[in-house]
């Protein structure tokens, strides 16, 4: 699978929007962009995924660049419960690998 690059850490103030960037310059046309997050002492949880178009769900929005070489996870109003490690992961359609390949992710700190 193609590699992703994320900042090691970011800070946000509570109730402000947060934009978490991810670079994936070697993405292929059949790679889905997935985001998972891991709260302290818990297993990862799915946040959102997309292929080409921007996506919204109750947790977040995913903005995908037109060339698909980067994407941004948007938390519209950060809360203290959003403090977690956020992972940007590419998953290839019809690839042989079914597993998620996690990088080191972005540690998000939310300040009260």
Partner 1 sequence: GAGVSQSPRYKVAKRGQDVALRCDPISGHVSLFWYQQALGQGPEFLTYFQNEAQLDKSGLPSDRFFAERPEGSVSTLKIQRTQQEDSAVYLCASSLGELEYNEQFFGPGTRLTVL
- Sites for partner 1 among residues 92-111 (CB under 8 A): 92-95, 97-105
Of the pair 41, 112, the CB lying nearest partner 1 is at 41
Residue closer to partner 1 by CB (options 18, 87) is 87
**108 in Cβ contact with 17 (< 8 Å):** no
Phi-psi region of 105 (alpha: psi -120 to 50; beta: other; left: phi over 0): left
Cα–Cα dist 44/90, whole Å:
15
State yes or no: residue 53 binds partner 1 (CB under 8 A).
no
Q: Which residues bind partner 1 (CB under 8 A)?
A: 32, 34, 36, 41-46, 49, 85, 87, 91-95, 97-105
């Amino acid at each position: 699978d193609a590699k992703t690059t994320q900042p090691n850490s970011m800070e946000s103030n509570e109730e402000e929007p947060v934009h978490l960037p991810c670079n994936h310059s070697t993405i292929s046309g059949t790679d889905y962009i997935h985001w998972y997050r891991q709260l302290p002492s818990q297993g990862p949880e799915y946040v959102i995924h997309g292929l080409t178009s921007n996506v919204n769900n109750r947790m977040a929005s995913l903005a995908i660049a037109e060339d698909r070489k980067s994407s941004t996870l948007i938390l519209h109003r950060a809360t203290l419960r959003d403090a977690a490690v956020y992972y940007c992961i590419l998953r290839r359609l019809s690839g042989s690998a079914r597993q998620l390949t996690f990088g080191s992710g972005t540690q998000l700190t939310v300040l009260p």
